[in-house]
Amino acid sequence: MMRLDLALPVRLRLALWSAALVTATLAVAAYISNATMRDALLRDVDATLMERAAQIEARIVVSPDQPLSEPPMPWQMATDAIEEYSAPGIYVQVYDASGKLLATSSNVPIGGLPKDEWAVELALLSQPDLTILPGGRARLRVLTRPLVAEGQTVGAIRVAASLHLLDTFLQRFEQLLLLVGVGGVILSLIGGWVLASRALAPVYAMTRIARRIAVDDQAAPEAMVLTEPPQGDEIGLLARTFNEMLTRLGDVFRRQREFIADTSHELRTPLTVIRTSLDLLELDLPAEDRRASLREAREEVDRMSRLIADLLFLTEADDRDAIVHGRVDLAEVARAVVRRARGPEGLTIRPGLLDWAVVLGDRDRLRQLLSNLVENAIRYTAPPGDVIVTVRRLSDRAVVSVVDTGIGITPEHHARIFERFYRVDRARARSLGGSGLGLAIVRRIAEAHGGTVRVESTPGRGSEFIVELPLAPIAAIDAESAQMPAAV
């Protein structure tokens, strides 16, 4: 049997919860208000009844030696007293000590007041009674109490008041409460819906952005950030986190597009060369030409491998979290790079001033940075010449420089020399085996370590590539030094 799950929108659920809470609150408030009003009005009626009974008692009771007697007609007994304190809607009856009805006010409805012999008997036993009895068109509030003379009960009096006006007022009051309650519930529904919609507006905006990114391959997530995220609440925190995610996602998409574009652009030439070489191998060529075609194809395959490795590194280097930060002595790294560097005969590769300069970084990446700079200098410096690597320690940073006596770079190329695949002389760079990514990798590694790289060059006299990196804090250096075992 299939189960149908109906998921209500969040803002509708919030509006319904708001309306339910308001309904419960108004119901409790209405009940308390109605009960309080009813009790207050009944107390006023009871006070009026007691006051009337006391006034009549004072007029018709003389002493215990003069018992109440029946007049020629019941309504003629102390008529002035009864009529004086009766009023429209207030009725009076007087009983003697035996419980016999002696007098009734003239305004009692036809049929008399509802009988309540039990209340009269209690009154004759000096126990007053307040009750509500049906009275035809309206209910009656009836007070039955003893008539006392010098501490002795000589009779009983019943004073009744019609509750028609009270019931009418309470009925209209209840209708007003119901009207207010319905209006409050409707307003709470509308208000809850509006407030929930405003509060969840960033969530709906994020949903629209996510759907657009899901269906549009060309969408730029970094351009879709929420312009005015709310501040100081959970939705605001979610919106800011979403914006950060979009920015990171945009960087990922951008790196992916750059990687694909760069790869497709740079692989086109070696693939063409490989295809041409393979086509030549199908021809009946001399052995020497066939070997040359194979050698050229292998060189292009090696070049493609280096190119892809460099592109992958650039893609990973965009993420600073990929950099492992540890204590690195740049002078030690420089010595290792110079020791392993190989150049043509007549080209001298040597270290210059090597200060002790410790930074927090990735040793392998910093070695790659220096290796790329040295290889670039070797590639563009013809023998006889020099390539000199120096490390200087300044107040708060380490300065690494690679100086060569090569062909130099004209000033208009200085700003773009660190871009991907940018070459001053494309034909010369390709003939020398460069991929066009070495200096781009240098810049990415420097920036990932919080540093910078720049070039100073004079055409025909050589170039100097300068990398500046922040020194490691003294506390970090001391802590790591303390953990190192002492030399034996």
State pLDDT tens for residues 355-380: 999 999 889 889 989 999 999 999 88
Pairing of strands 129-135, 152-162: unpaired
- What pLDDT is stored for residue 487 in this prediction? 36
Q: From CA 488, how far away is CA 486, in angstroms rounded?
A: 6
3-state secondary structure of 485: coil
| Mean pLDDT on 298-317 | 74
Long-range contacts of 300-306 (CB under 8 A, 24+ apart): 300/270, 300/271, 300/273, 300/274, 301/270, 301/274, 303/270, 303/433, 303/435, 304/267, 304/270, 304/271, 306/435
- Considering only 84-93, 134-143, 355-364, 386-395, which range has the smallest mean pLDDT? 84-93
- Considering only 166-170, 286-290, 465-469, which range has the smallest mean pLDDT? 286-290
Percent of the chain with pLDDT over 90: 24
* Fold match flag (10-169 vs 220-318): no
Give me the residue spans of the domains in the chain. 10-169, 220-318, 323-481
One-letter identity of residue 148: V
| Mean pLDDT on 284-288 | 80
The CATH class that applies to domain 220-318 reads mainly alpha
475 pLDDT exceeds 50?
no
39 pLDDT exceeds 90?
yes
Which token pair is 150? 């010098």
| Mean pLDDT on 428-447 | 72
| Mean pLDDT on 193-214 | 79
304 pLDDT exceeds 80?
no
Q: Where are the alpha helices (DSSP H) in 61-162?
A: 79-85, 117-124
Percent of the chain with pLDDT over 70: 80
- What pLDDT is stored for residue 391 in this prediction? 95
Residue 192 CB: number of other CB atoms within 10 A? Answer: 22
Which is higher by pLDDT, 114 or 481? 114
Domain 323-481 CATH (choose: 3.30.565.10, 3.40.50.300, 3.40.50.10420, 3.40.50.2000): 3.30.565.10
Answer yes or no: are the C-beta atoms of 341 and 378 closer than 8 Å. Answer: yes
- Return the DSSP state at 381: -
One-letter identity of residue 374: V
Which is higher by pLDDT, 173 or 247? 173
Answer yes or no: are the C-beta atoms of 52 and 159 closer than 8 Å. Answer: yes
| Mean pLDDT on 48-54 | 89
Domain 10-169 grouped into CATH 3.30.450.20: yes
The pair phi, psi for residue 134, each rounded to 5°, is -70, 140
Label residues 409-446 b or e (16+ Cβ within 10 Å = b): beeeeeeebbebbbbeeeeebeeeebbbbbbbbbbbbb
- Return the DSSP state at 87: B
